[in-house]
Structure 1
Amino acid sequence: MTATQRILKVVEPVIFGWRWPVLALLVLITAFLGYRAAQLEPNAGWLKMVPQDHPYMQTFLDYYDEFGGANRIIVAIHNEDGDIYQPQFMEKLRKLTDEVFFIPGVQRERVTSIFTPNILYVEVQPTGLSGSTVVPADYAPTPEMMDKLRTNVSKANVVGRLVSEDQRSALVVAELLEKDPATGEEIDYTRVGDKLEEIRAQFEDDTASVHIIGFAKVVDDMTDASVEVVGFFALTLILTGILLWLYTGSFMLGMLPLVCSIAAVVWEMGLIQVAGFGLDPFAILVPFLVLAVSVSHGVQYVNAWASEVADEGATAYQASLSTFRRLAIPGTIALITDVAGFLTIYLINIEVIREMSLNAAFGIAAIIITNKALMPILLTVANVRNIEKFKIKQARREALGDGLWRFIARTFTQTTPALVVLCLCAVLLGWSLWKYDDLTIGSAQEGVPELRPDSRFNQDARFISGNFSLGIDQLNVIAETRADACIDYEIMAELDRFAWHMKNEAGVRETMTLLDLSKLAYAGLSEGRLNAQVVPRNRYALAQSTALVPTTSGMLNDDCSALNVFMFTRDHKASTITELVESVKTYKAEQQSSDEINLRLASGNVGVMAATNEVVAAKEVEIVMYVYIVVLVFLFLSFRTLSGVVCVVLPLSLVSISAYGVMASLGIGMKVATLPVIALAVGIGVDYGIYIYATLAEGLRRGLPLEEAFYKTLHKTGKAVVFTGVALGLGVATWLFSELQFQRDMGLMLMYMFTANMVGAIVVLPALARFFAHEEEKHIGQDITAGAGNRDDSSQSGGAR
């Protein structure tokens, strides 16, 4: 008895012999998990998106309390009727600052605008230095006060930073904590985003426009679009249902795979909630993927069942049992391969990707139950009202594609056409490897790549970037040194040289350090002499000038053992980030002259992106390799032949490699949102390949010639593969209309991979079989799946109960 027969001997009596208790149990579990799925809540977190064990992130976390984080909110208000120095507009800015200050989860001591007490100016008077807050304590919205504010703003060196270059816009900047200090709970980004929209509605009118950016706003916009995502899911269900109905010729048979697929998605969502996870907006791909994989397996099952009923005259029970014996093992192996492959993505230490990995694994594991247990049970009682009419429909359906199947089998199993196909594959491989060098790791565009370029968020980002010279993207380097370094000239001079070096990089708009302010203070202490805007060599003069810069500026810590170097970048494109990081490393290695200072990368939102990009670059090929190692192992255990491994894996790997070329051509960057797509989509290709090759090998082991064996394969499983590829491709094509750019990107990629994997299984696999499948002839008489074609239901199941 083979291993396959032993497995079936255990499982088959449970599913078919105890089908009603099993069905009742599955219904109860589905109801319970559906209840838990209804309690699933959005769960987005800024730290979930970053690799927390990366050295840059360690720097970020080490100095989080002293210098703040990168999870910022930036609100700009623009005066449509002139400059900001108008009483009515200034009142709006004051109230806007107060509203941002009281947003739940905001780190209030770091809220910054010209109205906050941490923004000061210093000026030289005949009697010495004097200074105050930009907005004085006796502020009142009068014309005289507006003139005073105009003067104070110019003295405070905030033009370009908090006030736009044309002085028609002003910023309010805040940082979000990861936990709400009032409740101790994780920040609810949706609540923060809703509050920001309330602020926009409160202050935006014909005289002023409000522009808001920040991670919280991105999450809120993505969450708002989740209603649209649900609509796309419903549209995909309807479209798939119609196509299944047309394909099977029966409404009931068309709905069965859909019902089982919906059950699998319910199980997936319920298991996520039971495991203590929420639904991250970046994981919206997974339910669609689960639906796609489930439909793929369901179509194969229904197709085989219909053939048994129409061609062999089997009853519903006999047809379901026979189909189970033929497809249960290869189908389950394909799904187990998927689960193992998806779990390899867990090796990437980014929390949102790990959640996506477990999410997908839960969903595919659910398909094993719903497709290999629920589906067979439901089909045992499937009622074909008019069997003769059904047989006629099936015969017409078979005849409809017969010419195409015969042409494909006759063409691609012959030596010359097979060689042509393989040569074309080699050309595609070469093109893909050539384009791979153009693949961007990280964002390939300005703005937030998760949202469309014309989204309100990205329009706001462009407005702020275009009107404030310091920009919205910043890379911070922490200069670690000894305590009281602020009074050591050699250390301060080294810091100044580094800032000057980075300021001259093409990707940097401006730099800012403690010394930029202390130089102004020293010049003021030197009677305003312009040539005194230098780093003083005298330690007492240095102490006097640096002491005027408070720690609340975020430029130094309490004992001056850590100094923050701000670099405001022109954008956060991957190329810009890479160039700046390399420039910092080059300076440290080749130009740094002081051993008492350690320049640590990195903080700021660009520093976090740099860490993420480096992890993605290091893991993207590695993870796909792990997925393929798992696939290779399971394929060899399934078929025990080299030909089985080669014929399934080579088309699959070609599609994966070419997907990189497609991404590069479409300008889609490899980032957290897109990294799992190729690895996850491998699951669909594996299913196609296993079903096709298992049926082909079965025919070859029965002594059929390759052409005839593949012709019968196309009739049995090939047409279902073609249908699945087309149906799923059309389903994800609806994503192209999404407001979420990353969903559109994933839709394009999945459309390509679903279709390309289908073509690979139908065209490339037989071409490879022409040269490798001779190995199957050594196993003639050995059936690849035990019991195929045997409808003696009493032999293993013990009869129906």
Structure 2
Amino acid sequence: MTLSEPVSRLDRLIAATARWLISWSKTIVVLTLIATALLGVSALRTHLDPGFNKLIPLRHEYMAAFLKHAATFSGANRILVSVEWKGQGDIYNKEFLDSLRGVTDEVFFTPGVNRGQVYSLFTPNVKYIEITEDGYVGEVLIPSRFEANEQGLAQVRSNVAKSGQIGSLVSNDLKSAMVRADLLEVDPKTGEKLDYHQVAQRMEEIRHKFENQDISIHIIGFSKVLGDVMDGLFTVMTFFAVAFVITAIMLRLYTRSTNLTVVGLLVALLPVIWLLGLLPLVGYGIDPMSILVPFLIFSIGVSHAVQMTGAWKHDVRAGLGPKLAAENAIRKLAIPGTLALLTNALGFMVIMLIDIPIVHELGLTACLGVLLMIITNKVFLPAVLANIRLEKAALTAVSSDANGRNTRWWKLSALAESRPALLTLAAAMVFLVVGTYESRGLRTGDIGTGAPELRADSRYNRDNDNIIGHYSIGMDVLSVYVETSNLTESCLNWPVMNAVERFEARMRRVDGVQSVSTVSGLAKIATS
């Protein structure tokens, strides 16, 4: 059996390219294996590269305002540690305050914490203000010489009530107190990017150190979410291993050939190895939030490998030799397969237009992986197929009739006949109408509480529910900066403060707003 003669100029070009690839098949295999070995060594240097700033559009005008005032006001990358008292009474007792002091110190000295932005009942930047006969008086909530006797505890209770921190640093039911800290993007000690996993582990150490039958610790924040996600990577790898085994079994059942199964899986893994090897060379890592991209590349690779091996197997069973069958497979699938991969790559390139670093990185990583697949699936795979043999067990058709047709698929192909096809199209139109109608209620973004990346019953989401239920704050904070011009002391300017007060009143009436804190509101507390 021989190959058909190409007709068009494009067909002749593809045929010539296919002949050239097959004639150099052994060299291509050797060079590919060498490249895989080198990139495999490079892949060992691939590291997790998380970052809070990667999640936000830094060039947006709102984020420009955030970055401008980040050094003065608290940032969005914060960690909240709630110390809950489960014993009798409220937090104003020696055991609880000793634990709160210890937690405050531990958080304060955690690497990566902005120590100027640590807030607790024990930190000097949290004060109460009151008006006396001598004027305004402001002091720290807990004096440096504080003693946990009846008089000292009563004084702390009074100071906290006057500070306006109930609902913020102290829970509304007076059973918990908060330690709030902002994190730096760069560790000031090492000068390197903050290790969020280390911060999360440090928080867990604090939890285990201070929790007992009367004290419970609840921790939320981006670093804690990221730490929990990174702790779950072992589960992700286990999932990948299970998926790999299932894919191998299905390929073996479909091809009935161990050679084709091994080759198909190997070729699907190659772009993953190459991608992980190239990322360190171009200065990128893998963000934990996009850890599934390599699995996506593997699944696409398996699909295209099955197409190529299926075409090769069909021609071998028809009487062609391995080399001619590989050449014919290239001629059949070079254009449609390459166009499909280029279309996928273009789709990921469109994602890169979204001006959020992590989305841009995800698009770049996926696009690069798909482009690498053109080499592995359209060049390397045919070269391998040209040098292997199909086992005898795979040469015979499964459940075929007298005409050599697969009986199961031939029965299913009846759906392509006129009447069944009309029913299929009608059903598709019904689903289209229903889907279009229901899509009107589709909501975009994070619509639940807690971290959607984690299970609803995870420790983090339970901690989040506890904090939201006991405080008037949470992790979802909207900061509004009021800027004035040609005014030296804006906070003493009545029109400015009146505008802030009216804005506060308006925001309190907005559905979903849990609490509002402004300078005018704090001034009212101080003068009340």
TM-score, normalised relative to structure 1: 0.62
Amino acid at match of 2:337: G
- Separation in structure 2 between the aligned mates of residue 80 and residue 89 of structure 1, nearest angstrom: 10
State whether structure 2 residue 443 is matched by structure 1 residue 443. Answer: no
State whether structure 2 residue 245 is matched by structure 1 residue 245. Answer: no
* Aligned positions of 1:26-425 closer than 5 A: 26-82=32-88, 83-125=90-132, 128-310=135-317, 312-385=318-391, 387=392, 389-392=393-396, 394-396=397-399, 402-414=406-418, 416-425=419-428
State whether structure 2 residue 501 is matched by structure 1 residue 496. Answer: yes
Amino acid at match of 1:206: Q
* Aligned positions of 1:703-722 closer than 5 A: none
Amino acid at match of 1:405: W
Shift of 1:517: 2.4
On the 8 A contact 1:464/1:472 being kept in 2, the answer is no
**Could you list the per-position Cα deviations for residues 438-473 of structure 1 after superposition, in whole angstroms to 9, with x for gaps in the alignment?**
111111211111111111111100000001123443
- Return closer, same or farther for 1:61/1:126 CA change in 2, 3 Å cut-off: closer
Corresponding residue number in structure 2 for 1:728: none
- Separation in structure 2 between the aligned mates of residue 391 and residue 472 of structure 1, nearest angstrom: 62
Indicate the SS of the match to 2:82: strand
Shift of 1:341: 2.1
On the 8 A contact 2:330/2:378 being kept in 1, the answer is yes
Shift of 1:142: 4.2
- Return closer, same or farther for 1:517/1:368 CA change in 2, 3 Å cut-off: same
- Separation in structure 2 between the aligned mates of residue 413 and residue 480 of structure 1, nearest angstrom: 70
Amino acid at match of 1:344: V
- Return closer, same or farther for 1:401/1:508 CA change in 2, 3 Å cut-off: farther
Structure 1, 485-494 or 230-239: larger mean CA deviation: 485-494
Shift of 1:306: 1.8
Task: State the superposition RMSD in angstroms.
Answer: 2.0
Corresponding residue number in structure 1 for 2:436: 433
Indicate the SS of the match to 1:349: coil
- Return closer, same or farther for 1:3/1:199 CA change in 2, 3 Å cut-off: farther
Shift of 1:141: 4.1
Shift of 1:307: 1.7
Corresponding residue number in structure 2 for 1:628: none
Shift of 1:128: 4.9
- Separation in structure 1 between the aligned mates of residue 405 and residue 483 of structure 2, nearest angstrom: 72
State whether structure 2 residue 18 is matched by structure 1 residue 12. Answer: yes
- Separation in structure 2 between the aligned mates of residue 197 and residue 101 of structure 1, nearest angstrom: 15
Indicate the SS of the match to 1:75: strand
Corresponding residue number in structure 2 for 1:476: 479
* Aligned positions of 1:734-753 closer than 5 A: none
Corresponding residue number in structure 2 for 1:453: 456
**Could you list the per-position Cα deviations for residues 679-706 of structure 1 after superposition, in whole angstroms to 9, with x for gaps in the alignment?**
xxxxxxxxxxxxxxxxxxxxxxxxxxxx
**Could you list the per-position Cα deviations for residues 96-129 of structure 1 after superposition, in whole angstroms to 9, with x for gaps in the alignment?**
1011111112111110000001111234545555
On the 8 A contact 2:54/2:356 being kept in 1, the answer is yes
- Separation in structure 1 between the aligned mates of residue 286 and residue 28 of structure 2, nearest angstrom: 30
**Could you list the per-position Cα deviations for residues 569-619 of structure 1 after superposition, in whole angstroms to 9, with x for gaps in the alignment?**
xxxxxxxxxxxxxxxxxxxxxxxxxxxxxxxxxxxxxxxxxxxxxxxxxxx
On the 8 A contact 2:25/2:386 being kept in 1, the answer is no
- Return closer, same or farther for 1:395/1:449 CA change in 2, 3 Å cut-off: closer
On the 8 A contact 1:87/1:143 being kept in 2, the answer is no
- Return closer, same or farther for 1:134/1:485 CA change in 2, 3 Å cut-off: same
Indicate the SS of the match to 1:347: coil
- Separation in structure 1 between the aligned mates of residue 150 and residue 37 of structure 2, nearest angstrom: 68
On the 8 A contact 2:400/2:407 being kept in 1, the answer is no
- Return closer, same or farther for 1:187/1:334 CA change in 2, 3 Å cut-off: same
1:24 to 30, 42, 61: 30
- Separation in structure 2 between the aligned mates of residue 503 and residue 97 of structure 1, nearest angstrom: 31
Indicate the SS of the match to 2:220: strand
Amino acid at match of 1:248: T
On the 8 A contact 1:91/1:141 being kept in 2, the answer is no
Amino acid at match of 1:505: V
**Could you list the per-position Cα deviations for residues 44-101 of structure 1 after superposition, in whole angstroms to 9, with x for gaps in the alignment?**
1111111122222122122222223111100001112132222122111101101111
On the 8 A contact 2:164/2:525 being kept in 1, the answer is no
Corresponding residue number in structure 1 for 2:518: 513
Indicate the SS of the match to 1:67: coil
Indicate the SS of the match to 2:190: coil
- Return closer, same or farther for 1:109/1:192 CA change in 2, 3 Å cut-off: same
- Return closer, same or farther for 1:155/1:520 CA change in 2, 3 Å cut-off: closer
Amino acid at match of 1:22: I
- Return closer, same or farther for 1:54/1:126 CA change in 2, 3 Å cut-off: closer
Amino acid at match of 2:387: V
- Separation in structure 2 between the aligned mates of residue 3 and residue 442 of structure 1, nearest angstrom: 50
**Could you list the per-position Cα deviations for residues 654-703 of structure 1 after superposition, in whole angstroms to 9, with x for gaps in the alignment?**
xxxxxxxxxxxxxxxxxxxxxxxxxxxxxxxxxxxxxxxxxxxxxxxxxx
- Return closer, same or farther for 1:133/1:3 CA change in 2, 3 Å cut-off: farther
Indicate the SS of the match to 2:177: strand
Amino acid at match of 2:505: W
Shift of 1:293: 1.0
- Separation in structure 1 between the aligned mates of residue 180 and residue 398 of structure 2, nearest angstrom: 70
Shift of 1:514: 1.0
TM-score, normalised relative to structure 2: 0.93
- Separation in structure 2 between the aligned mates of residue 19 and residue 78 of structure 1, nearest angstrom: 68
- Return closer, same or farther for 1:325/1:126 CA change in 2, 3 Å cut-off: closer
- Return closer, same or farther for 1:407/1:446 CA change in 2, 3 Å cut-off: same
Shift of 1:420: 2.7
Shift of 1:6: 4.4
- Return closer, same or farther for 1:150/1:296 CA change in 2, 3 Å cut-off: same
On the 8 A contact 1:384/1:390 being kept in 2, the answer is yes
Shift of 1:28: 0.9
- Separation in structure 2 between the aligned mates of residue 174 and residue 238 of structure 1, nearest angstrom: 45
On the 8 A contact 2:162/2:525 being kept in 1, the answer is no
- Separation in structure 1 between the aligned mates of residue 415 and residue 197 of structure 2, nearest angstrom: 56
On the 8 A contact 1:19/1:377 being kept in 2, the answer is yes
Structure 1, unaligned runs of 5 or more: 524-532, 534-801
Amino acid at match of 2:515: E
Amino acid at match of 1:74: L
Shift of 1:9: 4.7
Structure 1, 149-158 or 23-32: larger mean CA deviation: 149-158
Indicate the SS of the match to 2:480: strand
Count of matched residue pairs: 518
Percent same amino acid at aligned positions?
Answer: 37
**Could you list the per-position Cα deviations for residues 21-50 of structure 1 after superposition, in whole angstroms to 9, with x for gaps in the alignment?**
211110111111111111111111111111
Structure 1, 236-245 or 275-284: larger mean CA deviation: 275-284
On the 8 A contact 2:118/2:182 being kept in 1, the answer is yes
Shift of 1:238: 0.6
